[in-house]
A and B are shown apart, each in its own frame.
Chain A
Amino acid sequence: MKRIFAVILVLMTVFGLFACAKTAAPATDATAADATTVAGQTETTAEPTAEKVYKVAVLVPFIGDQSYFDSVNAGRLAVEEYPNVETTLIEMGEDKSKWESYYLDACEGGYDLIVGGNNDAEEYFYAAAQQYPEQLFFNFDYVNHVDLPNVFAVTYNTPELGYVAGTAASLITQSSMPKANAEKIVGVVVGMDFPAMNDFVSGFCQICYENGVQVLIGYPESFTDSAKAKEIALNMYAQGADVVWQVAGGAGLGVFEAAAEADKYAFGVDSDQTIALSGQPNLAATIVTSFYKDCGASVKYAVDMLIAGTYPTGAQTLGIKEGAVGLIKNQQYIDMVPQDIRDQIDAQVAKVAAGEVTVISALADDAAWQDIKAKATAPLN
Chain B
Amino acid sequence: MSEFWSVIFSEEFLSTVVRVLVPLLFASMSAYIAALAGIPNIAVEGIMLMSALFAVLGSYWTQSSWLGLLISIGAGLVMALILILCTINMGTNPILVGIALNTFAASFTVFLLYMFTQNKGTSASLASIVLPIVNIPIIDRIPVLRAVLSGQYTVTYLCIVCMILLALLVYRTPLGMRMKAAGLDERAAKTAGIDVNHVRIIAVLISGLLAALGGAYMTTGYLSIFTKNMIAGRGWIGIAAQAMGGTNMLGVAVTTFVFSLFQAITNVFSLYDLPSELINIIPYVGVLLGIILFSVSTYRSGKKG
The bracket for how many chain B residues form the interface is: 35 or more
Tell me, yes or no, whether B195 is within 8 Å of chain A by CB: no
Specify which of B23, B232, B268, B280 is in contact with A224 (CB 8 Å cutoff): B232
Assuming A218-B271, A225-B232, is B117 touching A253 (CB within 8 A)? no
How many angstroms between the C-alpha atoms of A220 and B280 in the bound complex? 10
What's the nearest-Cβ distance from chain B to residue A105, in Å? 21
What's the nearest-Cβ distance from chain A to residue B13, in Å? 9
Specify which of A1, A27, A232 is in contact with B267 (CB 8 Å cutoff): A232
Q: Which 3 A-B pairs give the minimum distances between C-beta atoms?
A: A64-B121, A64-B120, A225-B232
Cβ-defined contact, A276 with B267, below 8 A: no
Assuming A26-B118, A221-B276, is B224 touching A276 (CB within 8 A)? no
Q: Which residues of B contact A (CB under 8 A)?
A: 3, 7, 12, 16, 19-20, 23, 60, 78, 82, 85-86, 89-90, 110, 112-128, 218, 222-225, 227-230, 232, 264, 267-268, 270-271, 273, 276-277, 280
Assuming A220-B270, A257-B223, A283-B224, is B124 touching A276 (CB within 8 A)? yes
A210-225 CB mask vs B (1 if < 8 Å, else 0) is: 0000001111111011
Residues in A whose Cβ lies below 8 Å from that of B16:
231, 234-235
A257 — nearest CB in chain B belongs to which residue? B223
How many angstroms between the C-alpha atoms of A23 and B3 in the bound complex? 52
Cβ-defined contact, A253 with B116, below 8 A: no
Cβ-defined contact, B121 with A279, below 8 A: no
What's the nearest-Cβ distance from chain B to residue A318, in Å? 25
Cβ-defined contact, B120 with A62, below 8 A: yes
> How many chain A residues touch the partner (CB < 8 A)?
56
Q: Which residues of A contact B (CB under 8 A)?
A: 1, 4, 7-8, 11, 15, 19, 22-23, 26-27, 29-30, 62-66, 70, 91, 193, 216-222, 224-228, 230-232, 234-236, 238-239, 249-251, 253-254, 257, 276-280, 283, 374, 377, 379
Cβ-defined contact, B116 with A216, below 8 A: no
What's the nearest-Cβ distance from chain B to residue A284, in Å? 9
Cβ-defined contact, A253 with B122, below 8 A: yes
Cβ-defined contact, B230 with A227, below 8 A: yes
Additional 5 contacts, C-beta under 8 A, given A66-B121, A239-B271, A257-B225: A7-B85, A64-B228, A218-B271, A221-B277, A226-B230
Specify which of A1, A11, A64, A279 is in contact with B128 (CB 8 Å cutoff): A279
Residues in B whose Cβ lies below 8 Å from that of A377:
273
How many angstroms between the C-alpha atoms of A7 and B78 in the bound complex? 11
What's the nearest-Cβ distance from chain A to residue B59, in Å? 11
Specify which of B115, B126, B232, B270 is in contact with A279 (CB 8 Å cutoff): B126
Cβ-defined contact, B124 with A4, below 8 A: no
